[in-house]
Structure 1
Amino acid sequence: MGSEYVPSALYSALRDKPFPTLYGENRTPVTADVLEAGLILSFCILTFAFLLIVPGVRVGQKTNVLIRVLVSLFIGTFILLCNFGQEWEYSRIHATTPYKAFSHEELNAEIEVKIGLRSVNITLKNETIYSGTEGDQVNYNERFSWEWQQGRQGFGPQAGHFNQDFREAQVRGTPLPILWIAEYFTFDGEGIRFGRNYRIAGWYTHILLWTAFPLWVISNLVFFSVLWYGACVLMLTGACLIAGTVVYASVRNFIPLEIPFYDHDHLVLIRMHYGWCFWMNLVNGLVCLVAGLVVLFMDLRYPDIIAAFFDIDILQDYEEIYDEPVELAKVTTDEKKTAASDTALLLPTNSVPGYGTDGPEYEAPALRKRSAYNRYQRVSVRKPAPAPRRLPAVPAAVQEEEDDENPIYENTLQSPERYDSSSKENILMDTLKR
């Protein structure tokens, strides 16, 4: 007695046969660069996450933090977009061209060529109905990569990546206009070396852009501590970006790439022009260079303003000094030309109650900036000067003893043996009263 097959309810609903539904492939045209879209989306996510925490920043620093973070994010995103972007060179034409070989049928098409650092992207779209295709629509895109080896001449196993992709496209039956354009990049001789020169230019530019990216990261970290170093690293980032643009424009083929097509009876040429990646990389480098120069100038001439903008402690670049009134009165010739110079503000004054300039105990404290570039600074001594002070009188017996290596400051506790009939508590109370 034979058993009859009973289909499962999972596969029998709305079906004639007890099998899963199988669909044919749905080929969709390439409408956007997935990598570029991913980089832009990452930038938008970081920007949105930062905007959520901006209300938590203390009042007075929200605008400064917003400007710093947004400018830094834009610089980093543009570096990555230019590195992986596909429009360092760009061209678009309208032409009447055959769709496939050994056919007299032609279509009015829009042909678009984009050259990046790693590959060339060719797009073919028809503008009128073409009877040679099943859906009467042609929207074809092909990318040929040369990343990064040149390989041997020809199309064998030892050939370069680009030549191998070109041979696979021929076997696959890629439309004839795309193969016609890609073939120009396979020539390698007699001064016609478009593929080789574009590959070398992309390789050197790629190295410089990848050098600029970690420099940009380092500049963001250094700006939290030393503005002078951060400005130098940011200028170095801009120099790498500008150098990448110059190298790309110099190394690419000296013969302009021109590919002929016909638009009915008129000759049209695919002439490559610099795209948005080229100009964005140049502008980004100039922005980094100018921003670094501005920060460096402000740090040398107006350190208080730039330190407040970056929210760092300005006193970390200064050291405390104590000079005698006679030394402070020695004003240089350049400072005498100014009515109220910074050094003059540090001169001792009798306006402080209970203090005079007589006596060896008088001292005038000041702050001096630690820098080797004093000649470019507006002043090396910080203003406004703190009020003069008088140290406690030292007994004669102690003065006869040898001085210790460490000086005595009024804001540090000293041993009771240095003073007659004084304890640590009395010294601290005297300091607080002053």
Structure 2
Amino acid sequence: MRGWFDAFRNDGGPTLYNFNNRTAVTGDVTIITFLTIFTTLYIAFLIIFPGVRKEKFTTFFTVTLSLFVGATILVSIFGSSWHIAHTAIFSTYKAFSKEKIAANLGVYVGLAHVNITLQALPVNNRTPDIDFNERFTWIDSSQMGDSFKEAIARGLPFPILTVAEYFTLGQDGLSWGSQYRSAGYYAIIMLWTSFAVWVLMNLMLIVVPRYGALLMTTCGFLLLATCCGYFGMLPEIPLTIHTEGKAMQFHFGWCYWLVVTAGGICLLSGVIITTIEIIVPHSFSTILEVDYDTPYDRHIIIEDSHGKRFQRKRNSGNKLDDPAGDGLGFRILKRLSSKTKEEQLNADIINHQIYEMESSKSPWRYSINTISGRPLQHKAAPRSISDDTLSTISGESRIHSDLSRYRINPERAHEVTMW
């Protein structure tokens, strides 16, 4: 009687998987992820690019270069092809065995690891089931030695163990691993610095394009400095791996040359754009700017300012319409005259206030009697003889008649003045 889980079982034993289910590690998942992201962004840009009507060349070149440099930096950090070597060998599969296999042996040195591959070659139209890709990391100083011991315990093929032994850090007189680790450590620092500058470059290309060109130059310089530093920190005595009579010579891989290419293009483009900006200011522009093709676009603002300046120059020819265009001396005198007018106006206001204060001190201006508290009724004061004589405009005969009419004795005049 069969149960629910008896399918593909023989006599109650475990399930038999009679097909080859092993898959060789031929690609890095991290690198494939980054390439997929940048490729998707570039395809999206190409889809919308036909709708771009202005600045087509600069926009296409800037976006293409930016995505290429960003992808190069991230792929190179996690890539495994900075220093590589490969050869075909005819070697034993395991130690102390007379059985030999024909295979391709490859060594791919990255910045923080080394990948060793072993793939069997077909013999008599038959390919042995041998396909290895083992990674040994050296982020820590002792991690390479620990990985090598684990590889021995796992029983990896003899060619892989032979190559891994060359990279043990400072053990048994072999120091190539430590030098590769130092070079990779320096390159990682420089590449992450370049990535930070690349992010700022994209930001400045959106906000202030001329600053983006300067950061583009800086990013290219850092990428080239990364390659130069890595080249200078490689082992002075080149590493040569001997296995079964074959010598494996190392050379630079595609990661190294990709960084050199990206750095050179970025540096050259940044220098050219910066030079053009110095000669012709505000000439470099893309549709990626924040206020592009709006009233706040810097090109529109510059054109408006030039138009107003030209209009001001045209109007300056008519001195009656625009007296401000007569020169610096006229404007200084006008400024001084305006200050003089203001000072004169302030002085008149102060004098008026002083006049009112002095006139208020007269006893005839009191509106309330200080004794009774009642409001006073001001009566017209009798006019004196001098006032009458000054107010008249008649002849001398009328003056004499007025004097005789208003003549009074001195005692009465004294009483009037006392009152």
Confirm or deny a common fold (TM above 0.5): yes
Deviation at 1:14, TM superposition (A): 8.4
In structure 2, distance between residues paired with 1:356 and 1:72: 53
> Pick from 225, 247, 257: which aligns with 1:243?
225
The residue correspondences of 1:24-423 to structure 2 (distance < 5 A) are 26-57=21-52, 59-129=53-123, 136-147=128-139, 149-150=140-141, 160-186=142-168, 188=170, 192-262=174-244, 267-307=245-285, 313-314=298-299, 355-356=317-318, 361-363=323-325, 401-402=341-342
| 1:215-235 deviation line (CA, Å, top 9, x unaligned) | 101111112222332222222
In structure 1, distance between residues paired with 2:92 and 2:199: 50
In structure 2, distance between residues paired with 1:92 and 1:125: 11
In structure 2, distance between residues paired with 1:278 and 1:236: 19
| 1:261-294 deviation line (CA, Å, top 9, x unaligned) | 34xxxx4311110111111112211222222212
Q: What amino acid sits opposite 2:148 in the alignment?
A: F
Task: Flag the 1:141–1:361 CA change in 2: closer, same or farther, 3 A.
Answer: same
Q: For the pair shown, which has the larger CA radius of gyration, 1 or 2?
A: 2
| 1:76-115 deviation line (CA, Å, top 9, x unaligned) | 0011111111100111111211110110111122111110
In structure 2, distance between residues paired with 1:285 and 1:191: 37
Deviation at 1:186, TM superposition (A): 1.1
Give the TM-score taking structure 1 as reference length.
0.65
In structure 1, distance between residues paired with 2:231 and 2:102: 33
Partner-residue secondary structure (3-state), 1:306? coil
Deviation at 1:45, TM superposition (A): 1.3
Partner-residue secondary structure (3-state), 1:292? helix
Q: Runs (4+) of structure 1 moved beyond 6 Å?
A: 12-20, 315-321, 345-349
In structure 1, distance between residues paired with 2:267 and 2:230: 19
Deviation at 1:23, TM superposition (A): 3.9
Task: Flag the 1:246–1:319 CA change in 2: closer, same or farther, 3 A.
Answer: farther
1:379 aligned residue: none
| 1:141-200 deviation line (CA, Å, top 9, x unaligned) | 1111101x21xxxxxxxxx11111111110111000000011011151697411111111
Q: What amino acid sits opposite 1:183 in the alignment?
A: E
Task: Flag the 1:17–1:176 CA change in 2: closer, same or farther, 3 A.
Answer: closer
Deviation at 1:245, TM superposition (A): 1.0
- Does the CA-based 8 Å contact 2:159-2:243 persist in structure 1? no
Task: Flag the 1:347–1:114 CA change in 2: closer, same or farther, 3 A.
Answer: same
Give unpaired runs (5+ residues) of structure 2: 344-419
- Does the CA-based 8 Å contact 2:319-2:326 persist in structure 1? no
- Does the CA-based 8 Å contact 1:146-1:199 persist in structure 2? yes
Give the TM-score taking structure 2 as reference length.
0.67
In structure 2, distance between residues paired with 1:117 and 1:316: 49
In structure 2, distance between residues paired with 1:183 and 1:13: 46
- Does the CA-based 8 Å contact 2:144-2:169 persist in structure 1? no
In structure 1, distance between residues paired with 2:151 and 2:286: 60
Task: Flag the 1:15–1:86 CA change in 2: closer, same or farther, 3 A.
Answer: closer
- Does the CA-based 8 Å contact 1:90-1:114 persist in structure 2? yes
Deviation at 1:16, TM superposition (A): 7.9
Work out which structure has the larger RCO, using CA pairs closer than 8 Å and 6 or more positions apart in sequence: 2
The percentage of counterpart residues that share the same residue type is: 33
Q: What amino acid sits opposite 2:112 in the alignment?
A: R
Larger helix share, 1 or 2: 2
2:366 aligned residue: none
- Does the CA-based 8 Å contact 1:227-1:296 persist in structure 2? no
Deviation at 1:399, TM superposition (A): 8.2
In structure 2, distance between residues paired with 1:102 and 1:38: 42
Partner-residue secondary structure (3-state), 1:305? coil
CA RMSD of aligned residues (A): 3.9
Task: Flag the 1:7–1:183 CA change in 2: closer, same or farther, 3 A.
Answer: closer
Deviation at 1:296, TM superposition (A): 1.4
In structure 1, distance between residues paired with 2:302 and 2:80: 45
In structure 2, distance between residues paired with 1:185 and 1:364: 82
User: How many pairs align?
Assistant: 327
Deviation at 1:29, TM superposition (A): 1.5
Task: Flag the 1:108–1:221 CA change in 2: closer, same or farther, 3 A.
Answer: same
